[in-house]
Chain A
Amino acid sequence: MTPERRPGETVSVPGARRGGRHGDDERDEDMTRLRDAVIAGAQGLYLTIVSLVGSIVLFVFAVLSIAFILLGIGFFTTPAVLAAVRWYAGAQRTRAAAWSGVTIPNPYRTYPADLRPGLTGQVERCTRLLKDPATWRDLEWLLVNMTAGPVVAVFAPALLLYMLYGWVLALGVWKPIYDAGGGEWFAFIHVTSQSTANQAALLGMGFFLLGVLVNPGLVRTHFLLSRAFLAPTPAMRERQLAERVDRLTETRHDAVDNSAAELRRIERDLHDGAQARLVAMGMDLGTIEAMIETDPAKAKELIAKARQNSGEALTELRDLVRGIHPPVLAERGLGDAVKALALRLPLPVEVTVELTGRAGAPVESAAYFAVSETLTNAIKHAGAERVWVDMHHAEGMLRIAVTDDGKGGARLGAGSGLAGIERRLGTFDGVLAVSSPAGGPTMVTMEIPCELS
């Protein structure tokens, strides 16, 4: 990119070609470099401290906790400690992506959400965690992250800050140190005179320049080191893919079953409803035609009946359409469709919507029916008097929370309506969580990954 430039005009394009006619580009680029290096220095300092402290503390706790499994206590502490380790590793993953653009995928296995309660569940949870090879790789990472990790990271701030020490020496501080019977070493220079002190200052500037060149690379290296342990190995990746294939097979099966059942229902509704009414209307019209002259009074009666049939056929079709794809959903999208639904319910439902655009039609439809069924549950089973629906979209997720003031005690077990909703959301990789203590309130949250347009 070499746009024509007028003298004195500053063009600041990141990554622009070096060697601008007036050196403006060059100066800008140097400034960017310097800024990046200073930022990387600060990041390096932060990483050094966080890596050292965090890794050591967590490693000690993890080892102790796992050892205590022999005493039984470990069953209770280990999941918590390992959760902390995963959180700490997760923070490192986030930093790696944000600071150096290094993406580190998650290697952890997924666990069934409904573990048995009580002691057995706790033991099962602990065993599952310890059987996951990613857990042991996390611990290995802690060891690396308390040794090699900080060593790499500490160079970033050190290269920049060492220059200051060189200057301090050159400004005369070398003398009292020397007089006190020392002789300070600045890197490989033994500082015994003003000239060697000046050399130290010069070398410090050299280190600084080196820092400017390599600092971002050092921070990146630190993260690459983490990635070597935190990213899944090929074997783990394969297992993850296998799990994913299983899940996709399962959800596809559910989706196919669902749509087949839906089609059967629609067919039956049409067959027994609108279609039958149209047949009746046709018959009535035939009779009317035959008797309109011989028995006008009877014909008039039949006309009224035919009109009533047509009205009822329309009502049935309207209800059927609402069950297939609600008109407001087609016309206005998810937010207004749920608001319109709320207005038709016999209890106050407060709907808050923060959606900047529309999700894809299949997602909108799935989300709508999920909310609709959750609301039906709240009214029918929980005996709720008030319901709150909150819908918003953030970080590629459509999040919906339905809260009611009913009697609670809803469970996500097999055969419950909630399990059906969960299955249908599963087709979209959506998840559903229920919090429903006995006595209420019940809160059902749904998350569906999707983009808004």
Chain B
Amino acid sequence: MRVVLAEDLFLLRDGLVRMLEAFDFEIAAAVESGPELSKALAELEPDVAVVDVRLPPSHTDEGLQCALAARRARPGLPVLVLSQHVEQLYARELLADGNGGVGYLLKDRVFDAAQFIDAVRRVAAGGTAMDPQVIQQLLSRRSSDQPLGALTPREREVLELMAQGRSNAAIASQLVVTERAIAKHTSNIFGKLGLPVSDDDNRRVLAVIAYLDQGR
């Protein structure tokens, strides 16, 4: 799987290259600025891009803008955005086209190599990887609202993991229960929230996030 990586801090870029290579990714390019990233995304056609939000030369949200532009040029191009801080505002912009293949994680998440690599793979496969903080913020704002308030604590836990983009199998192993139990929880959640049940994991994630984000 070919990856384009954009990160301006040498130490972190180097570390990410080594980690990705250790998990059998091919690094198509590891760049350090916005213009280089745009060029690499346009020319190298990677399977997935891992991009830092803030990049030189402007040191604003250049990485995010390059990623969004590349996705407009090539809809569905898988992009995993990394940042020192997560903002719902940015998450919303990434999810806005509804195409999936989007990830948005705090840089801290690379500490846990297994989970991080899982997120990269999920995004590359057209899935979603939202940082737990984004989902927690969404949930905490609406904690008292009906029908979210009607969920059992376990169902909330499942909903949180689901919104992060995890598959039933991943949720099951994290919560140490059977996949069947998770499937039951999910159908309960969808019933309570009045969302249409879908077998497509990615549609499911987007529907849940849209539900949590509505009215904002």
Contact = CB atoms under 8 A, between A and B. Distances in A.
A307 B111 contact: yes
A343 B60 contact: no
Contacts of B179: none
Interface residues of A, number: 20
Interface stretch (A141-149, A160-168, A330-338): A330-338
Given A346-B141, A348-B216, A340 B60 contact: no
Interface string A299-330: 00000000100110010001001100001101
A343 B137 contact: yes
A344 interface: yes
Interface in A28-49: none
B140 interface: yes
A344 B85 CA distance: 12
Contact of A343 (B53, B59, B87, B111): B87
B60 A330 contact: yes
Interface string A339-358: 11001111010000000000
A327 B111 contact: no
B216 A343 contact: yes
Contacts of B137: 343-344
B84 interface: yes
B194 interface: no
B108 interface: yes
Contacts of B88: 340, 343-344
Contact of A332 (B60, B85, B108, B215): B60
Interface in B201-216: 215-216
Contacts of A322: 85
Contacts of B216: 343, 348
B108 A311 contact: yes
Contacts of A348: 215-216
Contacts of B111: 307, 310-311
B87 A340 contact: yes
A97 to B, nearest CB: 39
B121 interface: no
B89 interface: yes
Nearest to A308: B111
Contacts, number: 44
Nearest to B93: A336
Contacts of A310: 111
Interface in B89-128: 89-90, 108, 111
A311 B141 CA distance: 24
Contacts of A330: 59-60
B140 A321 contact: no
B85 A346 contact: no
B185 interface: no
A327 B52 CA distance: 13
B61 interface: yes
Mostly, the A contact residues are: helix
A328 B89 contact: yes
Contacts of B85: 318, 321-322, 327-328
Interface string B119-162: 00000000000000000010011000000000000000000000
A331 B53 contact: yes
A409 B216 CA distance: 28
Given A332-B60, A332-B61, A327 B84 contact: yes
B54 A346 contact: no
Q: Which of A332, A336, A343 has the most chain B CB atoms closer than 10 A to its own CB?
A: A343
A339 B137 CA distance: 15
B141 A331 contact: no
A348 B84 CA distance: 26
Interface string A353-365: 0000000000000
A345 B141 CA distance: 7
Nearest to B92: A343
A338 to B, nearest CB: 10
Contact of B89 (A307, A311, A339, A345): A339
Interface in B58-94: 59-61, 83-85, 87-90
B132 to A, nearest CB: 12
Contacts of A328: 85, 87, 89
Nearest to B215: A348
Contacts of A327: 54, 83-85, 87
Given A311-B111, A314-B108, A321-B85, A331 B215 contact: no
Q: Which of B53, B85, B108 has the most chain A CB atoms closer than 10 A to its own CB?
A: B85
A344 B88 CA distance: 8
Contacts of A321: 84-85
A391 to B, nearest CB: 15
Given A331-B54, A343-B137, A336 B89 contact: yes
A329 to B, nearest CB: 10
Given A311-B111, A327-B85, A332-B60, A346 B215 contact: no
A318 B54 contact: no
Contacts of A331: 53-54, 60-61
A256 to B, nearest CB: 29
A22 to B, nearest CB: 54
B36 to A, nearest CB: 19
Interface in B19-70: 53-54, 59-61
Interface of A: 307, 310-311, 314, 318, 321-322, 327-328, 330-332, 336, 339-340, 343-346, 348
Given A310-B111, A328-B89, 14 more contacts: A307-B111, A321-B85, A327-B54, A327-B83, A327-B84, A328-B87, A331-B53, A331-B61, A332-B60, A343-B88, A343-B216, A344-B137, A345-B141, A348-B216
Interface of B: 53-54, 59-61, 83-85, 87-90, 108, 111, 137, 140-141, 215-216
5 contacts: A327-B54, A328-B89, A332-B61, A344-B88, A345-B141
Nearest 7 A/B pairs, CB to CB: A331-B61, A343-B88, A340-B89, A331-B60, A340-B87, A327-B85, A314-B108
